[in-house]
Amino acid sequence: MGNKPQRIGIMGGTFDPIHMGHLLMAESVRMDYGLDKVLFIPTGTSPHKDDCAITPAIDRYIMTMMATYSNPCFFVSPIERDRPGPSYTIDTVRALVAEYEPGTEFYFLAGTDAVLELHTWNNINELLDLCHFVAASRPGKVRTIEQEIERLGPKAMERIHRLTTPELEISSTDIRERVRLGKSIRYFVPENVEHYIHKEGLYRK
Ligand code: ATP
Ligand code: MG
């Protein structure tokens, strides 16, 4: 490893299901920031999504595994899946900091919608001490992110980095809806994930 500290990307999400938008974003950030690896961390029961029933954690975990397996730099962590009760990013990042060598640099990958919610996150101040954030966005969305960063204060200006990435107009919500309506999700998700969804009968109602 030499003296160069490891750079670890953290890609948190519900991944219900994981899709091409997630994968393209993570790979773009990985390349631009020279990340050694990206850890995909599917939520257990998400504190940000208490609305309706989400797919069992094990299905979301398996699909995340399947989608990332072919990328030698992508890994999946069961850390939130296995934690009972609601899971907060601060707990996850604290655990990772304790697990890795001192000096390891962590980069939390977040899309525009996630960045705009940062002020509501638990212990956001400590989180900004423990990791960098990479706000992946399209050129048009930069202004609104800018306002959120200002609102969070000077530490956020230092620790939240903006990166313009090619973005696919895809969301898990849209994919679930398409399956429910019997529409194709080919090319929205990796082929093996598409097969898993149909075989397990996910999102039919
Ligand atoms: P849902 O519609 O259920 O909210 P989602 O598509 O937004 O699902 P999440 O699991 O909520 O997916 O998102 C995980 C992370 O991936 C968040 O940081 C989110 O901003 C980011 N993300 C989601 N979709 C895209 C996309 N198409 N391009 C880039 N980033 C994305
Ligand atoms: Mg979302």
pLDDT value at residue 148: 92
CA distance 138 to 48: 23
pLDDT value at residue 205: 83
CA distance 153 to 144: 15
Ligand 1 neighbourhood includes 133 CB (under 6 angstroms): no
**Considering only CA atoms, which of 92, 80, 53 is closest in space to residue 203?**
53
Measured from the Cα of 113, ligand 1's closest atom is 20
Cα 12 to ligand 1 centroid, rounded to whole Å: 9
CA distance 136 to 126: 21
Ligand 1 neighbourhood includes 27 CB (under 6 angstroms): no
pLDDT tens-place string over residues 122-151 = 999 999 999 999 999 876 677 788 999 999
Nearest CA residue ID for atom 13, ligand 1 = 13
pLDDT value at residue 50: 56
Cα 2 to ligand 1 centroid, rounded to whole Å: 35
pLDDT value at residue 52: 62
Ligand 1 neighbourhood includes 173 CB (under 6 angstroms): yes
Structure-token pair, residue 95: 């655990």
CA distance 110 to 118: 10
Ligand 1 neighbourhood includes 111 CB (under 6 angstroms): yes
How many of the other CB atoms lie within 10 Å of CB of 122?
12
Task: Answer for the pair 48, 55: CB distance below 8 angstroms, yes or no.
Answer: no
pLDDT value at residue 2: 59
How many of the other CB atoms lie within 10 Å of CB of 184?
9
Residue ranges of the chain with per-residue pLDDT less than 70? 1-2, 46-52, 139-140
Rounded to the nearest 10 degrees, what angle do helices 191-200 and 57-68 cross at?
Answer: 150
Which contiguous run of DSSP H or E holds residue 140? none
Question: Which of 25, 52, 168 to mutate to test ligand 1, by most ligand atoms within 8 A of the CB atom?
Answer: 25
pLDDT value at residue 87: 84
pLDDT tens-place string over residues 38-56 = 999 999 975 555 556 789 9
Ligand 1 neighbourhood includes 172 CB (under 6 angstroms): yes
- Global pTM reads 0.94
CA distance 113 to 137: 9
In DSSP terms, 45 is beta-bridged to 86
Ligand 1 neighbourhood includes 25 CB (under 6 angstroms): yes
Which contiguous run of DSSP H or E holds residue 10? strand 7-13
Asked if omega into 17 is within 30° of 0 (cis), the reply is yes
